[in-house]
Chains A and B, each alone.
Chain A
Amino acid sequence: MSEIQLHINGKDHQINVDPNTPILWVLRDHLNMSGTKYGCGIAQCGACTIHLDGVAIRSCSLPVSSVQGKSITTIEGLSKNGDHPVQQAWIEHDVPQCGYCQAGQIMSAAALLEENAHPTDTDIDVAMNGNICRCGTYTRIKAAIKTAAKIA
């Protein structure tokens, strides 16, 4: 166990935890931030996607000790009022079915648009291929990303 300092969604947190614990489980079990989802634990499904210094990463496979001093953004902190262009577009296109993967999808999409304001279909395919949606909402996700690009 060790004391870990985390900077999440603009706030500082101090926790006492096994430094090998993936950031996913620190968020979910220790900090009661359960918007970031567990899907596979091996960085293959994208349900656990968060931003680390603005870059989309899979939080299930990253030890908490490696993110100290870095800025973490989770779905809860993507926007203050739930009105990030990607979130707005997701509602406009009524994307979710079960909704379990969508936080991860949204975090991947937001990171894509941060880096590439006007992605092509191929850019979207490449950026989003790491996020599985078992309900099959991909066509809506793609359309919503294009709408978000226009809002932003």
Chain B
Amino acid sequence: MSTIKTSLGRRSFLQTSALTGGGLMLGFSWMASCTLKTEEEILSMPNEWFEINSYLKIGDNGVVTIYTPNPEFGQNVRTSMPMLIAEELDMDWQKVLVEQAPFHASKYGFQFTGGSRGIMSRWEPLRMAGASARHLLKEAAAQTWNVSIDDITTKSGFLIHEGTGNKAGYGEMASLAATLEVPEEVQLKDISDFNIIGKSQKNVDAKSIVTGKSMFGMDYKQEGMLYAMIEHPPAFGMTLSAVDDAAAKAMPGIRDVITFKSYKDGFEKGGFDTNAFPELVAIIGNSTWEVMQAKKKLSVDWKPFKAYSETLSGFRGKQTVNIPAGLESTESHKTRMAELAAKPGRVVRKDGNPEEAFKKAVKIIEKSYSAPFLAHNCMEPLNAFAHVDGDKATIAAPIQIPGMIVSTIASSLGIPEENIEMVMPRMGGGFGRKAYGHYVVEAAMISQKINAPVKLVYTREDDMTNGIYRPAYQATYKAALDENNNLTALHVKAGGIPESPLFANRFPAGAIDNYVAEEWSIDSNITIGAFRAPRSNFMAGAEQAFLDEVAEEAGKDPIQFRLDLLKRAKEDPVGERNDYDAERYAGVLELVRDKSAWDTDRGNLNRGVSAYFCHNTYAAHVLDLTIENGKPVVQNVCCAIDCGIVVNPDAAVNMAEGAITDGIGNAFYGELTFKDGVPEKTNFHQYRMIRMSEAPKEIDVHFVQNEIAPTGMGEPPFPPIFGAVANAMYKATGVRQYSQPFLGDKQVLG
């Protein structure tokens, strides 16, 4: 048993109940979800609730409501985070209700979705909240029964004193517990005593989802709400010149057409304030369809903008970003990338003497890999509700990092931050895109200008062509083999538009005596940002495809080749800044080798292996592929993951399955090209997404069993799948894949 310092604020029952009253909302039921099994049980709600701390309240009948702090976009935190609290509370999971906590930074800390850091960052605080509540209940029972707290035990929502035979449900002690002082320290359970963590619990929102309850930002409604859409420039590099809104305004149901700037002149952007189009036209009307129709009647003149610089203050401190003028095209991007790739880059890391090693090499292998811009294409297009009323605002929007956009909204509206109430509906996907909240600011600005509650809706076309895209990348790898086929030197040079994807200190750095990593970048006015496992989502595929080719040239089994390098990195690491644990990395490779029966002949299956470490978690895949009628068909993916303790195993498996399928889709088809600044795909008839018939026939996920504090699951299984696809395709076709997408719009190979 371990003790942990508590850091809960004083209770504030009145404020919380006011915020979660839900009186503002119409037809909106996403607040409460439950794990209870039957309708009757759901109806047996308590007469009175007692707030024990900001994360939970207990009803007089023993039902517990847990406030889940972070926004949900499909990563299962509305289930898995309450599990952490319920575990330490020692609660019967079937008697737990889950509500979304309000956005409230001082009570709930950093409420965000991203970087696969949710469970990792909440692992201790949420267990502490549960343990501290349990302690207060025990103390209440001790006082009531006049016994020592040390002799009281708990079990599934009950307090028990064996000596006197006293037993009480949590509901009976909740009113007294709610008045007691929070202890300075509380004890956490031993891992071996877990009853909820580590056992698969169903998604608490499953019933609401399958019955079509309103849950998403897109579903949010308020009485008197108007609908708005924006018209943005047709090309990156352009801005507003003039608007003729007469025809649009004459359309039925249209209230207004306005132009506005999202951010004040001189506004210093934070890292998530990225927006391509600072000045926009908005059209506002009575219904989505009427606005959509009138939007087509807008006549707007656009003009090219001049080059400018802006200062961004993000997680990596302040940096100046240059936004060039011009209308960019994929063809010219490719030419520029080839030029930069051929020149020396900025050396980020160098070990040993790579120049000498390459001179002495018996064999040199050099290959170049590239990948295009990608659009996020969340199934729920961008949208935001805003009601700005004088110096107050209510916002309800699917947003990954609400805390990062509140100050921007306050600045744009000219109102105090504390006057902004932020509602966090479920997100219909995010994948990084919904970290960038310009659309939320836009909704707020529209509401302020028209003085009415408004829902801004991006059409699919608006969403796809006003992206904060995954950048285009390129990486060149060069390896030296000696006469014994040992890898003696590795040179990686990577770059992109507009950022480099390089991670200089990741594997195989640390495993090779002579190593050099360089990078370059090309400025662009096409906006880019985080996309599921940023940068890793390219580097993993490039690196793992290259290592596969080197292993083949060296005449070694691809898994054993990697394990040999990891052995070196573990026993005698080169350099001191290596960003991985070689033993855990080897662990997932060994597990996937075992579980996929790698060493057994699998007939006509063509197998590709790939492994990667990012976002604090290790993942390895073995992918089996066949070619049927010229099409690659993924038969099976065997996956091994080390993310420490797995909180909700079946949900973690679901995450891995999704990441694998998503990765295969992007590896085969994902691509957004540009011509004269215009994105060449606008909707799903052009942007090919993976579909049912193209998904893997089977996915088999395994976890390394250990007692390490949990790390992320949303991103880590995604990057390595690109390498597994490339390596299996080589086995199937004899042709190496260097350029994503591997299929693109082609229906068959060749």
Query: Footprint of B on A, CB under 8 Å?
Result: 1, 18, 21-22, 25, 28-30, 32-42, 44-45, 47, 74-76, 78, 81-82, 87, 90-91, 94, 96-103, 106, 121, 124-126, 128-142
Of B26, B457, B460, B698, the contact of A32 (CB 8 Å cutoff): B26
Write out the residue numbers on chain B whose beta carbons fall within 8 Å of the beta carbon of A25: 287-289
Say yes or no for B685: interface residue by CB 8 A criterion: yes
A132 adjacent to B662 (CB under 8 Å): no
Structural contact, B657 and A137, CB atoms closer than 8 A: yes
Structural contact, B660 and A136, CB atoms closer than 8 A: yes
**Contact in complex: A139, B380 (CB < 8 Å):** no
A-B contact pairs, 7 of them (CB 8 A): A34-B27, A36-B212, A40-B460, A98-B379, A98-B429, A132-B691, A135-B662
Contact B662 A134 (CB under 8 A): yes
B 429-472 binary contact with A (CB < 8 Å = 1; else 0): 11100000000000000000000000001011000000000000
651-689 of chain B: CB within 8 A of chain A: 651, 654-655, 657-662, 665, 683-685, 689
Question: Given the complex, which residues of B lie within 8 Å of A135, measured CB to CB?
Answer: 74, 379, 429, 658, 662
Q: Are A91 and B693 in contact, CB atoms less than 8 angstroms apart?
A: no
Report the bound CA distance from A64 to B219 in whole Å.
20
- B206 contacts A91, CB within 8 Å? yes
Q: Chain A: which residue is nearest B658 at the CB level?
A: A136
Bound together, the chains give a CA A96 to CA B378 distance in angstroms of 14
Structural contact, A96 and B205, CB atoms closer than 8 A: yes
- The smallest beta-carbon distance between B251 and chain A, in angstroms, is 10
Q: Are B290 and A18 in contact, with the CB atoms below 8 A?
A: yes
Q: State A35–B218 Cα separation when bound (angstroms).
A: 10
Q: Which of A22, A35, A74, A98 has the most CB of B within 10 A?
A: A98
A94 and B699 CA atoms in complex are apart in Å by: 15
Tell me which residues across on chain A come within 8 A of B209, comparing CB atoms. Answer: 90, 96, 99, 102-103
B211 contacts chain A at the CB level, 8 A cutoff: yes
Bound together, the chains give a CA A125 to CA B227 distance in angstroms of 37
Residues on A with beta carbons closer than 8 Å to the beta carbon of B377: 134
Does the CB pair A100–B692 fall under 8 Å?
no
How far apart sit A97 and B215, CA to CA, in the bound complex (Å)? 13
Residues of B within 8 A of A (CB): 26-27, 39, 73-76, 200, 202-203, 205-207, 209-216, 218-219, 221, 227, 252, 287-290, 292, 377-381, 426-431, 457, 459-460, 650-651, 654-655, 657-662, 665, 683-685, 689-693, 695-699
B residues in contact with A130, CB < 8 Å: 691
- Of A90, A106, A136, the contact of B657 (CB 8 Å cutoff): A136
Min CB distance A24 to B, Å, is 9
The answer on a CB contact under 8 Å between B212 and A75 is yes
Contact B429 A100 (CB under 8 A): yes
Asked if A99 and B426 sit within 8 Å, CB to CB, the answer is yes
A126 touches B76 (CB 8 A): no
Instruction: Tell me, rounded to whole Å, the shortest Cβ–Cβ distance linking A39 to chain B.
Output: 5
Whether the pair B211, A35 counts as a contact (CB closer than 8 A) is: yes
Task: Indicate whether A103 sits within 8 Å of B212 (C-beta atoms), given known contacts A37-B428, A134-B379.
Answer: yes
Identify the interface centre among B209, B660, B689: most chain A CB within 10 Å of its CB: B209
Which residue of chain B has its CB nearest to the CB of A130?
B691
Is the beta-carbon distance between A136 and B661 smaller than 8 angstroms? Answer: yes
With contact pairs A34-B219, A91-B210, A99-B428 given, residues A141 and B692 touching in the complex (Cβ less than 8 Å): yes
A99 pairs with B215, CB closer than 8 A: yes
User: What chain B residues lie within 8 Å of A101 (beta carbons)?
Assistant: 379, 428
Option from B206, B218, B460, B695 in Cβ contact (under 8 Å) with A96: B206
Q: Is the CB of A136 within 8 A of B659?
A: yes
Shortest beta-carbon distance from A73 to chain B in Å: 11
Which of these, B212, B460, B696, contacts A139 with CB under 8 Å? B696
B429 with A134: CB separation less than 8 A: yes
Tell me, in angstroms, the Cα distance from A44 to B287 when the chains sit together.
22
A99 in contact with B74 (CB, 8 Å): yes
CA distance A46 to B650 in the complex (A): 26
Rounded to whole angstroms, the CA-CA distance of A91 and B218 in the bound complex is 23
Give bound CA distance, A149 to B391, whole Å.
Answer: 56
Contacts of A41 in B (CB 8 A): 292, 459-460, 683
Q: How far is the CA of A39 from the CA of B463 in the complex (A)?
A: 10
Q: How far is the CA of A78 from the CA of B213 in the complex (A)?
A: 13
Bound: A99/B377 CA distance, A: 15
> How far apart are the CA atoms of A140 and B697 in the complex, in Å?
10
Cα of A79 to Cα of B76 in the assembled complex, Å: 26
Partner of A100, one of B203, B379, B660: B379
Question: Do A140 and B207 touch across chains, with their CB atoms under 8 A apart?
Answer: no
Residue of A with least CB distance to B213 = A35
- The complex places the Cα of A78 from the Cα of B211 at a distance, in Å, of 8
In the complex, how many angstroms separate the beta carbon of A132 from the nearest chain B beta carbon? Answer: 5
B73 touches A45 (CB 8 A): no
CB of B303 to closest CB in A, whole Å: 29
CB pair B379 A97 closer than 8 Å:
no
B207:A82 contact, CB within 8 angstroms: yes
Q: Is the CB of A99 within 8 A of B657?
A: no
CB within 8 Å for A139 and B211 given contacts A29-B227, A98-B74, A129-B692: no
Q: Which of B428, B685, B689, B693 contacts A125 (CB 8 A)?
A: B693
Does the CB pair B650–A94 fall under 8 Å? Answer: yes
| Contact, CB under 8 Å: B683 / A44 | yes
CB contacts (< 8 Å) of B73 on chain A: these are 98
B661 touches A139 (CB 8 A): yes
Contacts of B75 in A (CB 8 A): 97
Query: A residues within 8 A CB of B216?
Result: 37, 99-100
Q: What's the least CB distance linking B121 to chain A, in Å?
A: 20
